[in-house]
Amino acid sequence: MLRRLFEGQPVLVLLRLCVASLIVGFVMVWFDLRPLELVQISQRIMLHVWDMGFDALREAGHYILAGAVVVVPVWLVSRLFSPRR
């Protein structure tokens, strides 16, 4: 059962995980990164992307309203003065 969970011999998988953790830990210390800082940076990035998405929708709404000020009256006038079919 453990072989299926680890997709291989558990001892070898744990050894690979330890080596990978050592390498990642070394790189994090080299760049002076802390795990909590990475979580906070990820949160800030997600909030920034979220805000940018809604800012884009808000801007699109402004553009639609600005265009509608011109388009709707022109459409209405063209419908009123077009020859009947």
Same domain as 25, residue 60? no
Q: Which domain holds residue 69?
A: 34-85
For residue 13, the tally of other CB atoms under 10 A from its CB is 15
Same domain as 70, residue 39? yes
Task: Write out the chain's pLDDT in tens, 85 residues.
Answer: 666 666 778 788 888 889 999 999 999 899 998 889 888 999 999 999 888 888 888 888 888 988 898 888 888 888 888 877 6
pTM of full prediction above 0.85: no
Q: Retrieve residue 6's tokens.
A: 């680890």
Same domain as 80, residue 47? yes
Considering only CA atoms, which of 56, 54, 33, 36 is closest in space to residue 44?
Answer: 36
Same domain as 48, residue 25? no
